[in-house]
Amino acid sequence: STPISRVPKGGEGRATHTHTHAHSLYHKRLSIDGRQLNLEVFDPCSQSSETRCILEEPVDWADGFVVVYNINDRTSFINAKNILLQIREARMDNCKGSVPVCLVGNKQDLCYARGVREEEGRCLAQENRCSFQEVSAAEGYQDIANLFTQLIRQVMEHLKYRADRRRYSGSKSMAKLINNVFGKRRKSV
């Protein structure tokens, strides 16, 4: 499945958890680099049996995505590919801009029965300009916890960059406006 973000199983507890047949929505409080964060984690239901994946509304509000496939299930890899495409297209259509994405190949412990080469995962990530990692949720949650921490750091940087840019272009256009109004008047006086 493709969590927008997810508290790894065996990791710290969930503060609240809403579950429907279609998805789970978690609320998680955590501290990263001394900052207190309130995360909303949307985890869609399993989509492994469908080739057409539906991301639902988080594509509009999420600040980051974790796209997960199973390294011994080629269909899940194709689904992941479609989801990455959907994220890109939906964000472009809505003019929301790109957001940090991490592609994850899970079940690394079953690599003897691998259906997707690590290189294929890496290439797909490169094509989509996102980070990539193979993990094994069965063997431990630490790698996955680190992966989420990294993604959250990227999200914070991205949000800061976007806010700075907005502030800069805002002040630039404000300066232009002031110049247009008072600059001209000063000339005519």
Binding residues (CB under 6 A) for ligand GTP: these are: 1, 45-46, 106-107, 109-110, 136-138
CB closer to ligand GTP out of 109 and 127: 109
Closest distance between ligand GTP and the C-beta of residue 28, in Å? 16
CB closer to ligand GTP out of 72 and 128: 72
Compute the radius of gyration of the chain from its Cα atoms.
Answer: 21
Contact between 106 and 135 under an 8 Å Cβ cutoff? The reply is yes
Closest distance between ligand GTP and the C-beta of residue 162, in Å? 30
Give the integer Cα–Cα distance in Å for 31 and 36.
Answer: 4
Contact between 75 and 69 under an 8 Å Cβ cutoff? The reply is no
Q: What angle do CA 20, 23, 29 make, to 5 degrees?
A: 100
Closest distance between ligand GTP and the C-beta of residue 110, in Å? 5
CB closer to ligand GTP out of 1 and 5: 1
Give the integer Cα–Cα distance in Å for 109 and 186.
Answer: 73
Characterize the bridge pairing of strands 23-32 and 16-19: antiparallel
Closest distance between ligand GTP and the C-beta of residue 161, in Å? 31
Write the DSSP symbol of residue 15.
Answer: S
CB closer to ligand GTP out of 15 and 138: 138
Contact between 63 and 159 under an 8 Å Cβ cutoff? The reply is yes
Contact between 53 and 82 under an 8 Å Cβ cutoff? The reply is yes
Closest distance between ligand GTP and the C-beta of residue 116, in Å? 14
Residue type, 174: M
CB closer to ligand GTP out of 21 and 185: 21
